[in-house]
Amino acid sequence: MNKVTKTILSAFSFLFLFSCEQKQPPKAQPVPVNLFTVRTQPVVYFDRYTATTAALSQVNLLPQVQGYITAILFKEGSHVKKGQRLYEIDRRIYEANYNAAADNLKVAEGTLKQSQQDADRYSYLNSQKAVAKQLYDHAMVTLENSKNTVKAAEEALKNAKTNLNYSVITAPFDCTIGFSMVKLGDMVTVGQTILNTISTDDPMGVDILINEKQLTHFEELQHGKGSNLDSLFTLILPNNSFYPSMGQISVIDRAVNAQTGSIRVRLVFPNKDYTLRSGMSCVVRVHNQESTPQMLIPNKAIVEQMGEYFVFEAKDTVIVSHTDTAKKQGEAPKTGLVALQRKVHLGATIGPNVIVKDGIREGVKIVIDGVQSLHDGSQISAAEKKPGAHPAGDTTASTKTAGSGN
């Protein structure tokens, strides 16, 4: 080979060897995060339940006599007293029937009086053997028939009076009355035409659904075994204002819903000013009486995945370099932080914080900022926030829906 050929081959060999060297990937940098040390602390909060107001008694007004509506004697949507006149149905035919029944009774009573006189006379003559036995027997039968006629006339009069009274519909109890379903002149049918709907308004019932796991606790509250807190049951109105009066447990339903695992509880609240109306959507706050210190962490530390909840725990670990250069140079393994994913079970949410029931231990450090950039085993670098950075305070809490077990 000549010198030029050797030079060319050497150049190609150098290029070939250089191209065969693997390019080293860039070294992964730790993700900057903020940490929070988990501590237990006393927590005062409220469990919250979606609620619906319900009248303790609600009925539809139905006519018991037929006729035309001749008077509507109330203001729609107003509070009415027991016995107050609400509607009148055409009374003329019922007044006529009542008067006719009263006259028939008078006739029957007159006939009875005559029959009684005849019976007395024939009884005397029969005792003296001065009248035929047949005439005496007929007088006794006539007297008995007259008595029965009077009884029938009295019952007819009562029935006519009842129908006459039914032509005026009155409030069966103190209540609030709704919109009238009929107008003046409408024909109403017995037991079919709904005139109106009325409902009691003081006190007012408030229904909530609780998880079956909470049933024992609510039964204890019903029987006064819990702490006697003035704010045990408070109500938040649809406009987010607080109702001024406190409630108490009235009824716990007879059975648990087998499909949802929930049971209905009815509370009662005084309603002197008629602020509460049947069917309102409210929120009931139940003062939580748990005295055990709770683990409270910032809500932003929680990661949700397919209905499950996780946090990232910061763990000291040994980070070993696998590069050829590090091996050749004999570098010692380095220590650092990695983020390990931990599944947790949550309790009540209190403002920006949330109670953790289990899944982590007191004293561990968790990631509270930068969780979106992490996966299980990510290297992190962080500054620690003190536990007092997110105080619990006396903040309203919210629970899971009935059936969640919180």
Per-residue pLDDT reduced to its tens digit, 163-214: 999 999 999 999 999 999 999 999 999 989 999 999 998 899 999 999 998 8
Same domain, 341 and 224: no
Distance CA 119, CA 95 (A): 36
Residue 261 sits in a domain whose CATH number is: 2.40.30.170
What DSSP designation does 242 have?
B
Residue 83 sits in a domain whose CATH number is: 2.40.50.100
Question: Is 21 within a domain?
Answer: no
Q: Are 313 and 339 in contact (CB under 8 A)?
A: yes
Residue 192 sits at the vertex; the CA angle it makes with 190 and 198, to the nearest 5 degrees, is 100
Spatial CA neighbour of 209 closest among 284, 147, 308, 274: 284
Same domain, 209 and 254: yes
State the residue range of the domain holding 233: 47-56+200-287
pTM, entire model: 0.62
- Collect all residues with Cβ–Cβ distance below 8 Å to 363 and sequence separation of at least 6: 37, 38, 39
- Collect all residues with Cβ–Cβ distance below 8 Å to 321 and sequence separation of at least 6: 327, 331, 333, 334
Same domain, 77 and 173: yes
Answer with the one of 287, 313, 341 that is the final residue of a domain.
Answer: 287
Question: Is 19 within a domain?
Answer: no
N-terminal to C-terminal alpha carbon distance within the chain? 87
Question: Is 7 within a domain?
Answer: no
Task: Compute mean pLDDT per 10 residues along the chain, 406 residues long, and list them.
Answer: 59 55 61 88 82 93 95 93 95 94 94 92 88 89 94 94 94 92 94 93 92 87 66 87 91 92 94 90 83 84 90 80 52 74 87 87 88 84 60 40 37
Distance CA 219, CA 104 (A): 62
- Range list of β-strands (E), 55-101: 58-61, 67-72, 79-80, 85-89
Q: How many domains does the chain have?
A: 4
Judging by DSSP bridges, how do beta strands 378-385 and 31-37 pair with one another? parallel
Question: Is 81 within a domain?
Answer: yes
